[in-house]
Chains A and B, each alone.
Chain A
Amino acid sequence: EAQVTQNPRYLITVTGKKLTVTCSQNMNHEYMSWYRQDPGLGLRQIYYSMNVEVTDKGDVPEGYKVSRKEKRNFPLILESPSPNQTSLYFCASSPWDRGPYGYTFGSGTRLTVV
């Protein structure tokens, strides 16, 4: 089944403890992206990647890191999480290089930083 897989689905952590949210897609998509969703603000882009080893900042990149060493994986790293990073996170992918197509989203990761 074609899908984007995120892990974990739920995570509660303490301020300052490094964490990684994984994202993997099995559709050979070039483009991958991370969004955070907060009430009333919609989906805001954190980072995106056009291809392996090519990443760029989205609209809210502060406090986050990403890497794209393999085409299928695009992990999101929070080096020192803070409570304002409590949010619902989505990973998405698309085959944008083959023409305009919609995004496929992962199931989401609900992160709570205390």
Chain B
Amino acid sequence: QQPVQSPQAVILREGEDAVINCSSSKALYSVHWYRQKHGEAPVFLMILLKGGEQKGHEKISASFNEKKQQSSLYLTASQLSYSGTYFCGTEIGNTGKLIFGQGTTLQVKP
């Protein structure tokens, strides 16, 4: 089951904050977040595990609500470089198999 992301698109000014949500109908083992710039490959941002452990990099944070099977990505004080499409990927069980959401397009304007 493909996870559902919201919103589909966001337009921000530099310095503003954004939240991107990812929701699944299945119990999740982990949630991944990726960013893809136009014409490029998706790049790994962060992984959140059942039990609360997080692994990631860059100045981006996220949360994982295991009871609701939801994850949120928090982009604070956005920069122009944050523009792109953000995908969540959900893993059901420790299988390594990721199912991606449809993506959220973020545009940061000067």
Given contacts A100-B47, A101-B55, A102-B47, contact A43 B41 (CB under 8 A): no
Chain B residue with Cβ nearest A105? B41
Secondary structure at chain B's binding surface: helix, strand, loop or mixed?
A: strand
Given contacts A100-B49, A100-B55, contact A105 B43 (CB under 8 A): yes
A43 to chain B, nearest CB (A): 4
Chain B window 37-56, contacts with chain A (Cβ cutoff 8 Å), 1 for yes, 0 for no? 00011111111010000010
Structural contact, A90 and B87, CB atoms closer than 8 A: no
Chain A residue with Cβ nearest B3? A42
A-contacting 9-mer, from B13-21, B65-73, B74-82, B91-99 = B91-99
Question: Chain B residues with Cβ under 8 A from A103's Cβ?
Answer: 32, 34, 42, 44, 89, 98
Chain B residue with Cβ nearest A96? B96
Interface residues of B in 93-110 (CB under 8 A from A): 94-103
- List residues of chain B with CB under 8 Å of any chain A CB: 2, 29-30, 32, 34, 40-47, 49, 55, 87, 89, 91, 94-103
